[in-house]
């Protein structure tokens, strides 16, 4: 077999048998590629001139082969759009030339359930992606970017984005940052993984994490070789006052979500913030601040970041996964000086650097204040959704059947259930109605412990689906 390639706009791999004429070999190779599915229906083939040049044969040979396969129904010749692969029915497609034809596919009824509505936490509404603004910023940024921006760059990220982030975070979240200490990552998950790796290398073996909290983040820390210790959470946020004892004295780092604790919805009280920084300063421990939902406070201006009053003790981390969308894989850390070299080294050996094009686009979006405008717009949308949730549950709350916990913020709310209620049964009842919800129990370090509840996210459904999903939620909770 000889491998042939066409480079006329798109590569085309053809296996033409030795000892056959060029026309016959070309016809057979194209039939095999179409039957095997390597050339999908609608695929455009090279022009006869280009393919003849690549194969070293006369153009008339390729034209004749194309004409023959058009006559057989393998190809279609469309005026103005060239020659394309035709759509073949299943009885004509085989795995190789000469193989027996497959019998017609037997049709069976579609027994899949109707698509469930989802009120799961942690995901924004994908329809809010600022496509027009992102496109404008991408074009503007790429048009003015220096040539070196498209080469191998600083593992910390593009200086344009690090500078823009330092200004934005100082202005909106009270973060103390200079661009040199900003490290761009692919999101909070990578940021946490890199810091956990650095901690392990510094002989830290135990990390305190909020209970309840996100199990995925606990697993990231464990995979770095660290042991996780449960840090209880109440209405004032993480119990940082317990760090000096209660089995937490061996902890070398603490991961917290002070702005809007996930999943309880509490915010870290001033006394707890002071206790956290006092612990870090007295022990040399490190605080990892996940600024979860920091942009989405609805009842008042959000509380500033803990890092703003403890920049030498706190790694501040955030991302655009909630504001712009998870499809843009960009996050950041503001790292204390004493940990900076180790974090940059870990980033270098993880993936060396994050893609430059999206960094340049985000930098432009921030500098043009397009990012601020977008955040304000989606903040209003999610506030309306949370208000709608609270309004729909008002009758149940008033009757003592449920309790909506936490501050007015974010893309989720905790619905507390009476202690006698079977949380798992409520989740199953919702599923029977066509609604997916998440139980509080699965967020605990020891699943099933503690009071029952539902962690309800209202970011995922599209606008028309939110109202219907909330109706199903009320029914699952025993309402009309």
What is the model's pLDDT at position 4?
Answer: 44
CATH of the domain at 277: 3.40.640.10
Domain-embedded: residue 386: yes
Does the pLDDT value for residue 160 go beyond 70?
Answer: yes
CATH of the domain at 6: 1.10.10.10
Query: What Cα–Cα distance (Å) separates residue 18 from each residue in 6, 99, 118?
Result: 18, 20, 57
Domain-embedded: residue 317: yes
Regarding whether 297 and 195 lie in a shared domain, the answer is yes
Q: What is the pTM of this model?
A: 0.81
Residue 194 and residue 220: Cα distance in Å, rounded? 10
Regarding whether 286 and 417 lie in a shared domain, the answer is no
Contact 302, 295 (CB under 8 A): yes
Domain-embedded: residue 210: yes
Containing structural domain, residue 414: 117-123+375-476
Q: Tens of pLDDT along 96-127? A: 444 444 444 444 444 444 578 999 898 899 89
Regarding whether 309 and 221 lie in a shared domain, the answer is yes
Regarding whether 401 and 253 lie in a shared domain, the answer is no
At 436, list the tokens: 């997916």
What is the model's pLDDT at position 111?
Answer: 42
What is the model's pLDDT at position 130?
Answer: 95
At 263, list the tokens: 């999943």
Which of 10-14, 18-22, 269-273 has the highest average model confidence (pLDDT)? 269-273
Regarding whether 151 and 79 lie in a shared domain, the answer is no
Phi then psi for residue 61, to 5 deg, are -65, -45
How many Cβ atoms are within 10 Å of 101's Cβ, its own excluded? 11
Span 344-364, mean pLDDT? 95
Regarding whether 330 and 260 lie in a shared domain, the answer is yes
Three-state DSSP at 324 gives: coil
What is the model's pLDDT at position 289?
Answer: 98
Residue 55 and residue 91: Cα distance in Å, rounded? 31
What is the model's pLDDT at position 122?
Answer: 82
Domain-embedded: residue 101: no
Comparing 302 with 429, the larger pLDDT belongs to: 429
Q: Tens of pLDDT along 445-480? A: 987 677 899 999 999 887 788 899 999 999 999 877
Contact 272, 416 (CB under 8 A): no
At 208, list the tokens: 């305190």
Regarding whether 453 and 311 lie in a shared domain, the answer is no
Strand partners, 219: none
Which pLDDT band, with edges at 50, 70 and 90, does 18 fall under? low
Comparing 165 with 4, the larger pLDDT belongs to: 165
Residue 98 and residue 322: Cα distance in Å, rounded? 54
Q: How far apart are the first and last CA of the chain?
A: 71
Regarding whether 383 and 362 lie in a shared domain, the answer is no
Q: Tens of pLDDT along 398-450? A: 667 789 999 999 999 999 998 888 999 999 999 999 999 999 999 999 876 77
What mean pLDDT, rounded, does the chain reach? 89
Domain-embedded: residue 42: yes
Q: Tens of pLDDT along 189-215? A: 999 999 999 999 999 999 999 999 999
Domain-embedded: residue 106: no
Residue where one domain finishes, among candidates 368, 386, 414: 368
What is the model's pLDDT at position 287?
Answer: 98
Regarding whether 337 and 213 lie in a shared domain, the answer is yes
Regarding whether 150 and 288 lie in a shared domain, the answer is yes
Which pLDDT band, with edges at 50, 70 and 90, does 177 fall under? very high
Contact 350, 200 (CB under 8 A): no
Regarding whether 143 and 271 lie in a shared domain, the answer is yes
Domain-embedded: residue 139: yes
Q: Where are the alpha helices (DSSP H) in 287-369?
A: 337-351, 356-367
Domain-embedded: residue 148: yes
Does the pLDDT value for residue 138 go beyond 50?
Answer: yes
Residue where one domain finishes, among candidates 317, 348, 368: 368
Q: Which residues of 174-191 are buried (b: 16+ CB within 10 A; e: fewer)?
A: ebbbebebbbbbbbbbbb
What is the model's pLDDT at position 104?
Answer: 46
Which pLDDT band, with edges at 50, 70 and 90, does 3 fall under? very low
Q: Cα 301–210–420 angle (5° rounding)?
A: 100
The order of strands in the sheet holding 314-319 is 182-185, 331-334, 314-319, 286-290, 253-256, 206-211, 227-234, 237-238
Q: In whole angstroms, what separates CA 461 from the centre of its chain? A: 16
């Amino acid at each position: 077999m000889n491998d042939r390639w066409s480079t006329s706009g798109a590569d085309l791999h053809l296996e033409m048998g030795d000892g056959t004429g060029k026309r016959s070999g070309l016809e057979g190779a194209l039939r095999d590629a179409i039957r095997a599915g390597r050339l999908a229906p609608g695929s455009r083939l090279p022009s006869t001139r280009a393919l003849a040049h690549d194969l070293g044969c006369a153009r008339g040979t390729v034209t004749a082969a194309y004409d023959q396969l058009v006559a057989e129904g393998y190809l279609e010749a469309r005026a103005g759009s060239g020659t394309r692969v035709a759509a073949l029915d299943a009885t004509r497609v085989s795995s190789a030339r000469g193989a027996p034809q497959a019998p017609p596919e037997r049709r069976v009824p579609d027994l899949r359930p109707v698509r469930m509505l989802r009120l799961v936490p942690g995901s924004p509404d994908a329809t809010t992606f600022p496509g027009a603004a992102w496109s404008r910023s991408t074009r503007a940024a790429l048009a003015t970017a220096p040539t070196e921006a498209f080469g191998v760059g600083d593992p910390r990220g593009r200086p344009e984005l690090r500078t823009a982030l330092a200004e934005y975070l100082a202005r909106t979240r009270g973060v103390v940052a200079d661009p040199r200490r900003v490290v761009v990552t692919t999101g909070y998950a990578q940021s946490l993984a890199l810091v956990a790796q650095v901690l392990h290398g510094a002989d830290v073996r135990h990390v305190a994490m909020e209970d309840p909290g996100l199990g995925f983040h606990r697993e990231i820390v464990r995979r770095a070789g660290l042991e996780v210790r449960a840090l209880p959470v109440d209405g004032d946020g993480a119990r940082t006052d317990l760090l000096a004892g209660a089995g937490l004295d061996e902890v070398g780092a603490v991961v917290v979500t002070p702005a809007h604790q996930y999943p309880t919805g509490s915010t870290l009280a001033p006394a707890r913030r002071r206790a956290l920084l006092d612990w870090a300063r007295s022990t040399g421990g490190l605080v990892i601040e996940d600024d979860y939902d920091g942009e989405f406070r609805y009842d008042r201006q959000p509380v500033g970041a803990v890092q703003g009053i403890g920049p030498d003790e706190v790694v501040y981390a955030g991302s655009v996964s909630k504001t712009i969308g998870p499809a843009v894989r960009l996050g950041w850390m503001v790292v204390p000086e004493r940990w900076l070299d180790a974090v940059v080294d870990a980033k270098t050996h993880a993936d060396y650097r994050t893609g430059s094009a999206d960094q340049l686009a985000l930098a432009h979006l921030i500098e043009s204040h397009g990012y601020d405008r977008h955040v304000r717009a989606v903040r209003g949308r999610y506030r309306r959704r949370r208000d709608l949730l609270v309004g729909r549950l008002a009758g149940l709350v008033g009757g003592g059947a449920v309790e909506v916990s936490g501050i007015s913020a974010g893309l989720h709310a905790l619905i507390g259930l009476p202690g006698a209620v079977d949380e798992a049964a409520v989740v199953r009842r919702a599923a029977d109605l066509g609604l997916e919800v998440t139980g509080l129990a699965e967020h605990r370090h020891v699943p099933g412990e503690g009071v029952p509840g539902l962690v309800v996210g209202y970011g995922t459904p599209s606008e028309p689906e939110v109202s219907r999903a909330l109706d199903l939620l009320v029914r699952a909770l025993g309402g009309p």
